[in-house]
Amino acid sequence: MKKSNKLVVSLRVNGLAYEVLAEPHEKLLGVLREHIGLKGVKSGCEEGECGACAILLDGEPVTSCMMLAGAAEGKEIITIEGLAKGGELHPLQEAFMKYHGMQCGYCTPGAIIAAKGLLDKNPNPTDQEVREGFSGNLCRCGSYPKMVKSVLEAAKVLSA
Ligand code: FES
Ligand code: FES
């Protein structure tokens, strides 16, 4: 009988503690989606190229498809589900809705996470800095101009 070599992985996600039984090679993306049920973390290329799976890890946007779940132990993970507070959407989420920063919406959670990482470090970015902040986010719908506008408008709200 094959002995299970699964590991208990302790994660802190959106302020809550989780313990999951994961394969040693299991990626953080799969653990967040399949074990914890955070389906807002999207699976795209699974090669670190599209940014659909982006999360904040200790405040830094990272691609969860490129990271082993175990490597995230002891770090603070924020997913798109963790941005709304007390039933209120985050200003970035509000702005993406108001300024049509999405079409199909598949890239949107990763894009908003990238934008949050940017605004946390640089509360008043230029248009160019926002564009550069999306360099790791592929939007097949070509919504970039409206995504940039959404971030710039959210920055105004956040710094008002
Ligand atoms: S799914 Fe992770 S970067 Fe594309
Ligand atoms: S809105 Fe469709 S991929 Fe970006």
- Per-residue model confidence as pLDDT tens digits over 83-135: 999 999 999 999 999 999 999 999 999 999 999 999 999 999 999 999 999 99
First-to-last alpha carbon distance for the chain, in angstroms, is: 63
Q: Which CATH class is domain 7-81?
A: alpha beta
Please give the CATH superfamily to which domain 91-159 belongs: [2Fe-2S]-binding domain (1.10.150.120)
Q: What is the rounded CA–CA span in Å between residue 84 and residue 82?
A: 6
Q: Which ligand is nearest to the CA of 33?
A: 1
Work out which ligand 2 atom sits closest to the CA atom of 102.
1
> Ligand 1: which residue has its CA nearest to atom 3?
48
Domain 7-81 and domain 91-159, same fold? Reply is no
| DSSP code for 85 | B
Q: What is the mean pLDDT of the chain?
A: 96
53 lines ligand 1 (CB under 6 A): yes
Beta bridge partners of 62: 55
**Residue 3 scores a pLDDT above 80:** no
User: Quick one: which of 156, 157, 149, 114 has its CA closest to 135?
Assistant: 114
| Domain regions of the chain by residue span | 7-81, 91-159
11-53 per-position pLDDT tens digit: 999 999 999 999 999 999 999 999 999 999 999 999 999 999 9
